[in-house]
Structure 1
Amino acid sequence: MKKTTAALGAALLAISAQSAFAQSSVTLYGIVDTSIRYLTNANKANDSEVQMGVGPITGSRWGLKGQEDLGGGLSAVFRLENGFNLWNGQLASSNTLFNRMAYVGLQSNQYGALTFGRQNTPLFDQLGNVFDPLTVGNFDQDSWLPGALGYGLRSNNSVKYDGHFGGLEVEAMYAFGGVAGSVGASNMYGVTAAYSFGPFSFDAGYQQNSDLHNNKYRVANVSGVYQIGPVKAMAGWLYGQDNTGIVDLYMGASGSPAANFAAPVTNTNRIDNGLYAGAVWQVTAPLTLTAAYYYDHASNALNPDGATLSTGIRYSAVLLAEYSLSKRTEVYGTVDFTRGTGAATADFPGRNNQTGVAVGLRNIF
């Protein structure tokens, strides 16, 4: 009898363990992507270069994400995501393993998700997933005002809410600054509201980042998408007001005066008005074409001397073709041109324009 009871208990325990396992999941995923790129006016001498580097829209990464069913439509979730440079095997961010995302939280089927850790900002989520034709491009020459957000695209020490209510999605985030004696220093908060109905999607949002001295960088955005058969048309506007000096630094291409400024110049009240338009066309099942145009008008922008201020205009035009060899593997090619005038010449290492041509290979797992 004791043996029978013990055997039954062991069987029930095994069934319970299998049931618990069935309600939990952990997924390994990632993207392996690199391109070979030709770029004009790549240094002060206006020499051209050919270089292997990041892809135009997706950086290489690997990650783990998990979910555990807690019952009643509630789940525990986590995500750990690391970016790396395929061409040299290094971490995308020095001494930071999970530089892209590292969070844990609770998710409700009815009320949305509440997560804690290092996370994408609501602004980055919406532009990257829906409203920017290049999902916030990686090349310096393709980047526009979101690229200048720099640290504002992701935040450490953050609490984030993401809720879906029919066609409405609301995201809100607050990041603790962690500076003794000042609640506002180095903190961040932002909110977006996106609504979809039929072929239309709209998004509006606001974000504020503070530096260690409580100087502010504020961004407001309005964006829209319209699906016309196999074509998605996109357009939007970003308004930025910066007193942290980070925009002057982050708008600069590699080797430019802006990228080499010794430190941010604060309290200049730089104002940016960024406009964009683009389209993504699914030509055939394997072939996708993307065209994008970005424009930014900046006032109180830092000149190449790093000391005086003036107005600057910068614009970029990009064409991207992607061809799927399978469900997981794509080849692509891209051509882009960018030019700047006035204070925007600080963003270029030589002449005030650059042309890039790249081909690449992407595998998704």
Structure 2
Amino acid sequence: MRHSKLFAGLVLAGLGAGAVPAFAQTSVTLYGIVDDAVTYSSNQNGKSNTYLRSGNLAGSRWGLRGTEDLGGGTKALFQLENGFDLNNGALGTSGSMFNRQAFVGLKNDRLGTVTIGRQYTPYYLMVGTIGPTTYVTGATGAHPGDIDGLDTTIRINNSVTYTSPVMWGVTASLQYGFGGQAGAFSKGNTYSGALRYDGGPLSLAAGYLRLNNVGGSGATWNGASTGTPGTSSLNQGYVTADVLQHIAVAGIYTIGSVTFGATYSNVQYKPGAASLFHDTAIFNTAGVHASWVVSPQWRLAAAYSYTAASKANGITDAATYHQVSLAQVYSLSKRTSLYALEAWQHANGKSLSANAASIINAGPAIGDSQNSTPSATSSQVVGMLGIRVDF
């Protein structure tokens, strides 16, 4: 009821503002990022590989965003954003024109913002954006396999998001994704919420995300669900989960030109009647990161994370993952950068194979760039030399 009142208030504010069209101002911006790198991986399913990879320092994309000033402190807004592979021109997601974002909404200075469509979660927007991926990038700096969704892996279809105005440095946001399953309201839906404090050099955030699977037969997460998690060697045995839950906290502190940060996340895969595994699986990740703006041209960053499967469907020697990530960025101009990225990951213990078919040695998957190409050995090294151009 509270959310409906907030939405109604925003709508009424917009309607009232429509009575003064002489003051309305409209702005539409075309923007984008083109990013590519020569990439080396020491082991992809048993063999080393050197190849071109698009979207490393930032995902290659183009988009449109716009606002219309409706008066009285209210604006209409929208954003449409498409991801693509620079090396072959393919869509980021097959069959999706605007796979990254597609939403419309109203923003009021006093009441906050309501948006509807395909959107990032409050969990990511408030917690993930002060995590390691902002500083060392998701390609090599996301926690192994992006197991906790603190990079941009998860977006929610059919969702409504409310974000409060900033009050005493605190912002709150809630999101609900409609599952759209007749007679089964909870099937395939999504809940997310987050709080964030920004005050001077300090930022703190906490977030929650729950994805419900539509379920049914099959060996993967049902794509009809509003949210779909990324799949890697870490969670390949649990992709038939009935419920996926993320809880995370993060913080950063800036001293002069140096920013220090820390994160912790807890991820739970809960089985249902149609799942191919039978006991809840839990992954805990703790990490630290730092970034140093050496000069207007140079920025250096580093991150370390430790991930442990504290509960692994009965596996006694459960998997653990150590990951170190480095980034060096040189700005040729405000819009063009050259970069180098390096990362190392080591895995110990056992995990489940795809479809929970058997117990296997844990395989490393650095950041979220090696999700489909894990190492066949206990370690993996990745290096990238690339260029990013913004427009």
Q: Is the 8 A contact 1:230 1:283 kept in 2?
A: yes
Where in structure 2 are the equivalents of 1:143-158 lying within 5 Å?
143-144=143-144, 146-147=146-147, 149=149, 153-158=154-159
Q: Is the 8 A contact 1:167 1:197 kept in 2?
A: yes
**Partner secondary structure for residue 277 of structure 1:** strand
**Partner secondary structure for residue 377 of structure 2:** coil
Superposed CA deviations along residues 249-294 of structure 1, whole A, max 9, x for unmatched, are: xxxxxxxxxxxxxx97344311111111000110001111010112
Q: Is the 8 A contact 2:208 2:247 kept in 1?
A: yes
User: How far apart, in 2, do the equivalents of 1:234 and 1:132 lie?
Assistant: 8
User: How far apart, in 2, do the equivalents of 1:110 and 1:265 lie?
Assistant: 48
User: How far apart, in 1, do the equivalents of 2:152 and 2:293 lie?
Assistant: 33
User: How far apart, in 2, do the equivalents of 1:270 and 1:350 lie?
Assistant: 23
Number of the residue aligned with 1:14: none
User: How far apart, in 1, do the equivalents of 2:261 and 2:86 lie?
Assistant: 31
1:198 CA drift (Å): 2.5
Greater Rg by CA: 1
Number of the residue aligned with 2:310: 299
Superposed CA deviations along residues 177-232 of structure 1, whole A, max 9, x for unmatched, are: 11122111111111110112221111111111110138211111111100111011
Where in structure 2 are the equivalents of 1:81-230 lying within 5 Å?
81-134=81-134, 137-139=137-139, 142-144=142-144, 146-147=146-147, 149=149, 153-163=154-164, 164-213=166-215, 215-230=242-257
Q: Is the 8 A contact 2:195 2:205 kept in 1?
A: yes
**TM-score normalised per structure 2:** 0.77
**TM-score normalised per structure 1:** 0.82
Give, as a single letter, the amino acid of the residue that structure 2 aligns with 1:162: T
Superposed CA deviations along residues 19-73 of structure 1, whole A, max 9, x for unmatched, are: 86960011001111011111102222xx211010134341100000010111100
Give, as a single letter, the amino acid of the residue that structure 1 aligns with 2:211: N
Picking from 377, 383, 391, the partner of 1:351 is 377
**Partner secondary structure for residue 339 of structure 1:** strand
1:136 CA drift (Å): 8.3
Unaligned runs of 5+ in 2: 1-20, 216-240, 352-361, 365-373
State the percentage of identical aligned residues. 36
User: How far apart, in 2, do the equivalents of 1:86 and 1:100 lie?
Assistant: 15
| Bigger mean CA offset, 121-130 vs 230-239 | 121-130
**Partner secondary structure for residue 285 of structure 1:** coil
Unaligned runs of 5+ in 1: 1-18, 246-262
1:128 CA drift (Å): 4.1
Picking from 339, 357, 373, the partner of 1:332 is 339
User: How far apart, in 2, do the equivalents of 1:152 and 1:52 lie?
Assistant: 21
Greater length-normalized contact order (CA 8 Å, ≥ 6 residues apart) = 2
Alpha-carbon RMSD: 2.5
User: How far apart, in 1, do the equivalents of 2:270 and 2:135 lie?
Assistant: 26
| Bigger mean CA offset, 193-202 vs 354-363 | 193-202
Number of the residue aligned with 1:50: 50
Q: Is the 8 A contact 2:212 2:243 kept in 1?
A: yes
Does residue 1:37 correspond to 2:39, yes or no? Answer: yes
Give, as a single letter, the amino acid of the residue that structure 1 aligns with 2:252: V
1:158 CA drift (Å): 0.4
Q: Is the 8 A contact 1:161 1:172 kept in 2?
A: yes
Q: How many residues align?
A: 324
**Partner secondary structure for residue 48 of structure 1:** strand
